[in-house]
Amino acid sequence: MRKSIVIRVLAVLLGFALLATACGDDDSTGESTSETPTTSEADTGGSDTGGSDQGSTGSEDQVEATQGGSLLDTVIERGTLNCGVSGSAVAFSETQPDGSVTGLDADFCRYVAAAVLGDASAVNFVALTAAERFTAVQTGEVDVLMRNTTWTQSRDTDVGMDFGPTTYYDGQQLMARASDGFSASSDIPDLEGATVCTNAGTTTEKNIAEAAAAAGVNITLNTFEDYDIVMDNFLNGSCDVVTTDGSGLVGRKAKQQPEGEEWVIFPATPISKEPLGPTYRQNDSKWADVINWSVYSSIIFDEKGVTSANADDQKANPVDAEVGRLLGGEGELQTAMGLPADAFYQAVKQVGNYDEIYTRNLGPVGLVRAGSANARWTEGGLIYAPPAR
C-alpha cells in the first residue's frame, strides 16, 4: 500500500516535471506579478500560457495527502469542504468585507457542503487567481474548484483534472469605452492598434490572441494575474479594451462603470464558448459522482419546482417519484453514493435549487436567464440533467 502511494507520488511528480519542461520559460505564466503587465503582440501568435493554464508542480506532501481513498471520505472526516473560488469574480464569488463569500460559484460550494456534510456553512473558501487554481486542485489544497472555470480539452486531459456539469454557459466578449468610438456592434477588426487587457492563465488570453491573429488585426495584449488589476488599468486608461467571460464583463460594468461614462460590451455573438463549472482531481469517480449529482439535483429541483421554501412539503408529499427519491424518500440512491439519504433535501432546503442560486446571484447584475443558454432545457436552454433513478 505504502509502496503504491510512493509510486503514484513519483508518477504525479514526473508528470508535473514533464509538463514544466514542455511549457518552458513562458513569460506569461502565473509567475508574473500582479502590478506589471505581461505584454505580447497578439498578431505574432499571441501568448501561450500553457504552464499557468494547466497548473504546475505541487509539493510531495500535498500530493501524498490526496492519494489513496476518495476525497469524499476525506471531506466527511474533516467536516469541512475546501472549495476554490476567485473571491473577486462579481456575482460568481466575491469576498465581502465581513469575510463571507457570495455568488453563484460560492453557493454551489455550499450546496455540495450541505449534501455531503448536512451543513451549507461547512465550507472553507480558498481564494485563487486563475493562474493558481489548477495547482490547488492537483495538490489537494482544494477539494473542488468553483471558479469561473472553462472546461477545455487540454485541462480535462493533460494533468490531474476532471470536470463536472456546466453550471453557467458563457462566452468571451470585450468591453471598451463608448467615448473611444466603440459600440455594441463593434467587432474584432475594430481593435486595430488597441491595448487589450485580461488576466493570465485563462482561456481568455489565448482566444483573443487567436481571434486577432485570424482577423489580421494588431493588438497589444497585456495580462495581469488578478482581474482587479486589469480593471484598475482599464479605469486609468492604460488598457483601451478589457476581455473575459461575458458574465464577468456584465458584472464589472454593473459594479465599476463611473458616473457619466458608458462602457459597451461586444461582439453580440461571443468569440468563444466558455462552459463554466466544477473542476476536481482526476480519477476519483466517487467524488466526481457527488459533485456531479449535487449539480444535477439542483437542476432537477428547478425543473420540478422544488425550492428551499417548499422542500419540507415536497419531502412529505413529492410532486413525483423522482423528486421523492432525490429528497430521500427512497434514499438508497444517495446512500449508494456514500451520502446521507437526505443529502439533496439538505442541499435544496439550505441553499435552493439551480434557479434560486442563479436568480439570487446573477439577477442583480442583470444576467437574465430566460432566453439564454442557461434557461431550462424545457424552455430552449441547455440546463439539463440526467434522470434520478
Ligand X SMILES: N[C@@H](CCC(=O)N[C@@H](CS)C(=O)NCC(=O)O)C(=O)O
**By the criterion CB under 6 A, which residues form the site for ligand X?**
86, 88-89, 129-130, 148-150, 199, 202-204, 226-227, 244-245, 248, 274, 276
Cell 449535487: give the residue.
294
Cross-strand partners of 38: 223
Grouping H, G, I as helix, E, B as strand and the rest as coil, residue 154 is helix
Q: In the complex with ligand X, which residue's Cβ is closer, 274 or 355?
A: 274
Q: In the complex with ligand X, which residue's Cβ is closer, 169 or 301?
A: 169
CA-wise closest residue to 191 among 171, 170, 175, 172: 175
Task: Provide the minimum distance between the beta carbon of 68 and ligand X in the complex, in angstroms, as a whole number.
Answer: 29
Task: Provide the minimum distance between the beta carbon of 279 and ligand X in the complex, in angstroms, as a whole number.
Answer: 9
Burial class (CB in 10 A: 0-12, 13-18, 19+), 184: exposed
Q: In the complex with ligand X, which residue's Cβ is closer, 139 or 199?
A: 199
Residue whose CB is nearest to ligand X in the complex, by number: 248
Integer Cα distance of 109 and 123 in angstroms: 7
Q: How far is CA 122 from CA 110, 112, 302, in A?
A: 7, 10, 24
Residue 267, preceding peptide bond in cis (omega within 30° of 0):
yes
Q: In the complex with ligand X, which residue's Cβ is closer, 105 or 355?
A: 105
Q: In the complex with ligand X, which residue's Cβ is closer, 255 or 286?
A: 255
- Size of the chain, expressed as the number of residues it contains: 389
Cell representation of residue 254: 454593473
In sequence order, the 6+-apart residues with CB closer than 8 A to the CB of 320 are 304
Q: In the complex with ligand X, which residue's Cβ is closer, 206 or 325?
A: 206
Q: In the complex with ligand X, which residue's Cβ is closer, 28 or 199?
A: 199
Burial class (CB in 10 A: 0-12, 13-18, 19+), 203: buried
CB 301 within 8 A of CB 346: no
Cell 439519504: give the residue.
341
In sequence order, the 6+-apart residues with CB closer than 8 A to the CB of 266 are 173, 174, 175, 176, 182, 183, 184, 185, 186, 187
Q: In the complex with ligand X, which residue's Cβ is closer, 226 or 303?
A: 226
Q: In the complex with ligand X, which residue's Cβ is closer, 190 or 226?
A: 226
CA 110 to chain centre: 14
Other CB atoms closer than 10 Å to residue 195's CB: what's the count?
19
In sequence order, the 6+-apart residues with CB closer than 8 A to the CB of 209 are 40, 42, 45, 46, 47, 221
Please give the helix or strand (H or E) that residue 222 lies within, else none: strand 220-224
Q: In the complex with ligand X, which residue's Cβ is closer, 249 or 311?
A: 249
